[in-house]
Structure 1
C-alpha cells in the first residue's frame, strides 16, 4: 500500500494510460489531456488513482479542467471510494459517474463501489435531483457544486449540500483549475480562472458521522445525458502534507523578465521557483526565519529582492502557514494560499 506524499501528474503528452491511474468507461488520453467523455450522448468515463491513502490524512488534489464542443453536457464528479473497492464508471447522465442513475427507466445504472463522498461540478443540474441521482435533494440546480454522501452501487448517495458556481465551459487554451480538499470530514472546493482568480465554492463543509474506510482512493468522472461536450482534465497533482508545500512563482506584468525565487536554509538553497515554470513540491524549515532572495534568471543574475519568510506548522489541520508578522518578505513579493500547503508567489514590478 502506497501512502507516501508524492506528486502524481495526470494527462501529459503520452497517448497511453497515465502511470498510476486506471481509466474506465469512455475515458481516453487525447493530445495530452484525459478526455473523460467525448462529445457524444449518454457517455461516462472516469480516471481513478491506484494508490490508497490513509483516510486519517488530508487528501488535496488540484487539476485543470476544459469543457468544449457540443452543449456543455451534465458535469464531472471528484470522489473518494474505499481504497479496496474496484474502480468503475457506469452511471451516466445526472449521476456524474458517482451516484446511481435512475432518471430514465431504460437507462438505470449503478453508482461507484463503496463510495465515501462525491463532489459534483454540475452544470446541467440533475446531480441535485433525487429523480436522477442518489437519494434526497431539492431538485434540479444548474451550475452548482454539489456534495453527495456515501453509497454503494444502487443504494445510498444522499444529497448533503450545494452552492452556486460559475459556468465551466472553458476551452483547452483557457482552462479552469479546480482544487478539492478532504480532511477531518471537512470538504473544501475552490475554482480558479485567469479572469477571477480563486473563488471558494464550498468552504469546510462537515460530512455527517459515519463509517470511514481505513484507506481511500481518488477518482474523477464525467458524464453526459442527451446533451454532450468534451470533458477533459490534465496536470492533476496531490498537494503534499506535513512540512512540505507545493508552490509556483509568477511575475506581473507577465511579459516581464524571468525571475527566480530562492529559499535559503543555513546558507544553502533549499528550493528554487522560476517564474512561469510549473509548481513544485519542497520541504520547508518551520519556526525559524528562512532567507528569501529574488534574482534575475539571466546574466548578471542581479538580486532584486531580499527578505525572509517564517513558516509555521499547524498540526491540528496538518498544514504549513506563512506568518507575515514573524517574517519580512520583499515588498514586491506577495503570496496566495488557495488550499492547504498550496502557495502561489507573485512578484509585482513597481
Structure 2
C-alpha cells in the first residue's frame, strides 16, 4: 500500500441486538443513511460498492448487485467479499485497489446481517461427512479441539483468557451500540465458572449471534481533501492469507495465516508491534485473540498467557484491546461481525471513542478471521494497519 494515499472518511454502526425481525437490507439502509449524514456526501456521488456476504437474505449469487439495487445505487464497480469474518478488511483492501486502478472514486463498504431471520447461506468451511460423524458440530467444537491442542503443547492458562474476557467486557459497558444484555461487567470468576460448551471452551468464550450492520466510506486522500473532509483514517498496511497449511498432511492447528499476514501488514506500514497504539482483533472465541497475538508476533508461540498477564489491555493501558468490547462482548452481527472491530478502530483514530477513547490513538491494528475448515486452523486471516490522518 502507498503511504496514506487512500482515506476512510466516515463510519457508521447500528445498535447490535437480537430478534429484531429486521432484514440485512434494512440494516444496510440505516448504515448508508448514517454515512451520508456524517460525511455530507450525496448518494449519487458513491460509484463503488463492496459488501460482505450475509448468512441471512443471501439466497442469491448476485448479492452485491441485489443489495445495491435495493439501496438505489448506480455503480461503476461492485463486489461481494466472501472470506467470512475477514471480509470487512478484505473489502476495504479491494476498494483501495479499485480506486487506485481508476475503476471508481468513492466506495461504500458494507456489512449487514440478521441472525433472527432464516439462515439461507448454508455457510461452512468444511465438508460435513468428515465432521458430523464424530460430533464436531460448528465452531465451538472446532475451537474446543484447538484449545485442547494448545493445552497439550503449551499448557492453557485459563486465568489469562479470563483477563482478556474481563477487559473486553469492560469496554462493552461503555459502548452504547453493544448488545444491551452484555453491558454489565464480569469478573474473572464469572468467566471461569461460566457454563462449559465444548471443553475447555466456556459460555463466556463464545460470540452471541446478533443482528446489525456497519460500514465505512473509502476514497482517495486527494479527493477527500478536495471535498473538505477534516477527519481521515488511512489504511497503510494490509496482509491476507487464505488456506494456510492446506497442503500439509500434518498441519500445526495452532498456526494460522496471521503468521504471514501480520508481518506483511506491519512491513508495508513500516512498523513493528511495539509501535501499535491499539489492537482490534477479530474475536469469535477468546483463545483466538491470544493465538493471534502469538502468530502476529506480539510474543513467542506458547507465551500468550504471559504476555496477556504482563499487558494492560484496558483502554487506558499500554495495549488497548477491542475497545468496543469486540464481538464477544458487543455481539456478533453475523458475517458483518468483523466490521465491528474495523469501525471501532476508525472511531478511535478519529478521536470519537467517548469515555473509552484511547489517549494516544495515532494507529491501530485490526484483524479478521474467516471460516473453520476440517483439521486446520481458520481458513482466512487478514491484518490491516490504520493510521490517523
TM-based fold match above 0.5: no
> Which structure's residues are more often helix, by fraction?
2
Larger Rg belongs to: 1
Provide TM-score, normalisation by structure 2.
0.28
> Which structure's residues are more often strand, by fraction?
1
